[in-house]
Amino acid sequence: MIDWSKAKELCNEVGEEDFGEIVEVFLDEVEEELASLDGRDAECLGKSMHFLKGSALNLGFTSLAEICVEGEALAQTGHSEKIDTARIKSVYADSKRIFLGEYGG
């Protein structure tokens, strides 16, 4: 669910203080994007999947990134109605809980 080596690598690159700020910005931006998913048109939904995938990969949220890769592919092939936004939100919530439990953020 979490690639801890990726999170640690980022923390080592930017330092503990800046890492905390990055985590805060990540959580805020991802939650804002997730809140706006329902009711989006196919193009916007595809862009959201791409944004969420990239954000998740940067912090090591691998399960979220994987489900967003699937969603992005669905949007690109004209099947955005098959994107399970509830599952995406659930995977994010689980990942966040695990990450903050370990990170202590």
User: Between the CA of residue 67 and those of 17, 18, 49, what are the distances in Å?
Assistant: 30, 28, 9
Distance CA 86, CA 27 (A): 17
**Taking the complete model, does pTM exceed 0.85, yes or no?**
yes
How does pLDDT run across 37-66, given as a tens digit for each residue? Answer: 988 888 899 999 999 999 999 999 999 999
Tens of pLDDT, residues 58-71? 999 999 999 999 99
Structural domain span for residue 17? 4-103
pLDDT, residue 92, reads 98
Looking up residue 88, the CATH number of its domain turns out to be 1.20.120
What average pLDDT does the structure give for the chain? 94
Helix axes 85-103, 42-59, angle to 10 degrees: 20
Is pLDDT of 105 > 70?
no
As for how many domains the chain has, the answer is: 1
Average pLDDT on 26-33 reads 97
